[in-house]
Amino acid sequence: MSATVGGTTALGDHAARQLANATKTVPQLETISPRWLTHLLQWVPVEAGIYRLNKVKNPEAIKVACTAKESENQLPRTFVDYEENPREYFLNAVSTVLDVHTRVSDLYSSPHDQIKEQLRLTIETIKENQESELINNPDYGLLAQVTEEQRIFPLTGAPTPDDLDELLTKVWKEPAFFLAHPLAIAAFGREATRRGTPPPTVSLFGSQFITWRGIPLIPSDKVPVADGKSKILLLRVGDKRQGVVGLFQPGLPG
């Protein structure tokens, strides 16, 4: 394409751009998220892909006594019994087969390596699926592990500071963080601000999170939302705290 300038013919922009080098980005995948949950969990290596959760049976049967000075009362005799059939968790594999034609990788790998980018995007998708399974898997997901006595229901429609306080009465032993969908966190923030108690923020991993009672609210778009309703979880993490852990098998190739 040409343009006429002062009665002479000059090269136009469209034609000139054919000789210019465009700066190209790597492929952008909009489903990639920060995956804060996987960063905040303690990850425990397991052998043979099996994790056995041993629990004490009848903890109220463990007897101890505080005796007064010079007391000759007989000391109680006790022992700690364990469950005979503890629950076992088995690792699941997230897998796929990536197809890349050698012709494509040979001809079109500059400036970006086609195989490298295909692998990167596939691995990111696998990691997104991993976080979704941690939350939603019907066997071992966080939502499926909550017992009825650990569930509460909001006093009104939107989550309120009262509701989160009620959750804290359920998980009062060293709670680590709330986990919720961004829409639920936004609804809580609006309700808290409306009541005149705007939640403070804390910086984690270089990002800002709102908090309640000093506990951060961590967003994840993997927490389901249906008919305008969602769930907010309060987690205690780490095996030493008898909390939630993530499992992985060490030593795998790749």
CA distance 11 to 2: 5
Question: Would residue 191 count as lying in a domain?
Answer: yes
Q: For the chain, what is the mean pLDDT?
A: 91
Q: Quick: pLDDT tens for 85-108.
A: 999 999 988 889 999 999 999 999
Question: Would residue 21 count as lying in a domain?
Answer: no
User: Under a CB-based contact definition with an 8 Å cutoff, are residues 133 and 92 in contact?
Assistant: yes
User: Under a CB-based contact definition with an 8 Å cutoff, are residues 218 and 233 in contact?
Assistant: no
Helix (H) or strand (E) holding 167: helix 161-170
The number of folded domains in the chain is 1
Question: Would residue 221 count as lying in a domain?
Answer: yes
Predicted confidence (pLDDT) at residue 77 exceeds the cutoff of 60: yes
Residues of the chain with pLDDT > 90, as a percent, come to: 77
| pLDDT at residue number 70 | 64
| pLDDT at residue number 2 | 53
Question: Would residue 180 count as lying in a domain?
Answer: yes
Domain that holds residue 63: 36-92+137-254
Question: Would residue 224 count as lying in a domain?
Answer: yes
CA terminus-to-terminus distance, the chain: 51
- 246 contacts: CB under 8 Å, gap ≥ 6: 38, 41, 42, 43, 44, 134
Q: What is the pTM of this model?
A: 0.88
Q: Quick: pLDDT tens for 4-50.
A: 555 558 888 888 999 999 899 999 999 999 999 999 999 999 988 99
Question: Would residue 204 count as lying in a domain?
Answer: yes
| CA neighbor of 232 nearest in space, from 146, 149, 156 | 146
| pLDDT at residue number 5 | 56
| pLDDT at residue number 254 | 59
Question: Would residue 31 count as lying in a domain?
Answer: no
Question: Would residue 80 count as lying in a domain?
Answer: yes
